[in-house]
Amino acid sequence: MALVPPHGGKGLVCCLLTGSELEDEKKRAAGLKKIPISAQAKGDLIMMGIGGFSPLDGFMTKADWKGVCENMLLSDGTFWPIPVMLTASKADSDGINVGDDIALEREGEIYATMNVTEKFEMTEEDKKWEAEKVYKGEGEDSQGDFLKTALEDHPGVQMLMARKEICLAGPVKVLSEGEYPTKYKGIYLKPAQTREIFEKRGWSKIAALQLRNPMHRSHEYLCKIAVETCDGVLIHSLIGNLKPGDIPADVRVKCIDTLVNNYFVKDYVVQAGYPLDMRYAGPREALLHATFRQNYGVNRMIIGRDHAGVGDFYGLFEAQEIFNKIPYATYEEACKVPGKALLCQPLKIDWTFYCFKCDGMASMRTCPHTKQDRVILSGTKLRKMLSEGAEIPDHFGRPEVLAILRKYYEGLTEKVEIKMQKAASGEDMK
């Protein structure tokens, strides 16, 4: 069997220039009007450059933005779950007209040029509408006055509301991959590279594990379930920006290396990283994770408890349930709309934990015991215990990994308070 095709029906859409074309565009970019971009936009650009955001070849128009927020569809009917926008202040965008070419710059480096095909204003009401459509969930924190709570505690909504007021849309030519090829050499892999690895190994059914936290026993168990049911697993870490208090990518990568070397059969695992920032959009972000994983050659996205969640904004398994609510929800329906539907399907796994009575890892579907018999595993809970110097319960993590994390926390001069949500504490477990 062949690998799943890239999303969108156009193959890998890669906007990254190379060779003489790159050098010529860099010279041209030096003379263009420069627009400063956010860290999030930088990651989005690099993903467009390497084909990770296929079929996107630029930032979204107003019609695309509205369709994605409302129906999870681009204006041409292609599935896409989260807006990918470029915003600028009125001052920075003054004098930019449709048809102009601009340079997109961050911290002194030009990451891309863009041909402006549309310029429109994003009002406060527009942002609030997007927040309600994309970020609001079914958890406790999303009830009542959602926006008031979100502005205080939801990092994704806070980033959304802080966006500049003018949107610029249009195709891009990407000139730089930033620090990723050197800082994360061997980990930062492009979709074409993972696809080549999978093809060489003869894999066609591949599951991906999304990671933004250090890999604990539950993550390990999820991967091993996937290895038993698929040809192999892609352990795919976010190596872009996180919120304060999260553990940096180089530490997480070291933890994964240690786990893979000691507790996995390497022939069935590929470790890689991707250059996005977290959006903390819960269920919608789970869909985004599946969408761009399809471009990497993955056709099964592992979705466990509270995937991409933050606080108590989302239901425990809302990220699993949303896959049943998207356009072309079933694989059979997806096959009827070639290119436009999401082909990467969820691998839904129940709440997992270590059970002393079962004497091993288990889930709510396999363990008949009570929560008093279980070690509740979560990245948030692990970070909180480590940051407070608390003793880590037996079977929470592998000792080799915990040693790496303890060393990291011992070296911190400033620590961020970690807020525990119900999902991480096990409060909702029966």
- What's the chain's length in residues? 430
Can you give the pLDDT at residue 187?
95
Residues that are catalytic: 212-213
The rounded distance, in Å, linking the Cα atoms of 80 and 290 is 10
With bands split at pLDDT 50, 70 and 90, how would you rate the model's confidence at 233? very high
The answer to whether 133 touches 82, Cβ cutoff 8 Å, is no
Look at residue 425 and tell me whether its pLDDT is greater than 70: no
The rounded distance, in Å, linking the Cα atoms of 163 and 85 is 9
31-40, 244-253, 368-377, 399-408: least confidently modelled range: 244-253
Cα dihedral: 128, 130, 133, 136 (round 10): -60
Can you give the pLDDT at residue 170?
98
* Domain of residue 26, residue span: 19-180
CATH number, domain at 108? 3.10.400.10
| CA nearest neighbour of 118 among 68, 78, 59, 69 | 59
The answer to whether 5 touches 337, Cβ cutoff 8 Å, is no
Residue 387 within a domain: no
| CA nearest neighbour of 289 among 316, 308, 270 | 308
Can you give the pLDDT at residue 422?
59
Residue 328 within a domain: no
Condensed to tens digits (0 to 9), the pLDDT of residues 181-223 reads 999 999 999 999 999 999 999 999 999 999 888 788 889 999 9
Condensed to tens digits (0 to 9), the pLDDT of residues 322-331 reads 999 999 999 8
Can you give the pLDDT at residue 424?
52
Look at residue 421 and tell me whether its pLDDT is greater than 60: no
Looking up tokens 């999820």 gives: 222
Residue 49 within a domain: yes
Mean pLDDT of 379-399: 80
19-23, 231-235, 397-401: least confidently modelled range: 397-401
> Of 425 and 290, which is predicted with more confidence?
290
The rounded distance, in Å, linking the Cα atoms of 299 and 229 is 12
Residue 148 within a domain: yes
> Of 118 and 413, which is predicted with more confidence?
118
Residue 139 within a domain: yes
With bands split at pLDDT 50, 70 and 90, how would you rate the model's confidence at 414? low
Residue 125 within a domain: yes
Q: How far apart are the first and last CA of the chain?
A: 42
Q: pTM of the predicted model, to two decimals?
A: 0.93
The answer to whether 350 touches 359, Cβ cutoff 8 Å, is no
Residue 307 within a domain: no
The answer to whether 303 touches 286, Cβ cutoff 8 Å, is yes
Q: Total domain count for the chain? A: 1
Can you give the pLDDT at residue 429?
58
With bands split at pLDDT 50, 70 and 90, how would you rate the model's confidence at 154? very high
Can you give the pLDDT at residue 182?
96
Condensed to tens digits (0 to 9), the pLDDT of residues 249-308 reads 889 899 999 999 999 999 999 999 999 999 999 999 999 999 999 999 999 999 998 898
Residue 109 within a domain: yes
The rounded distance, in Å, linking the Cα atoms of 37 and 39 is 7
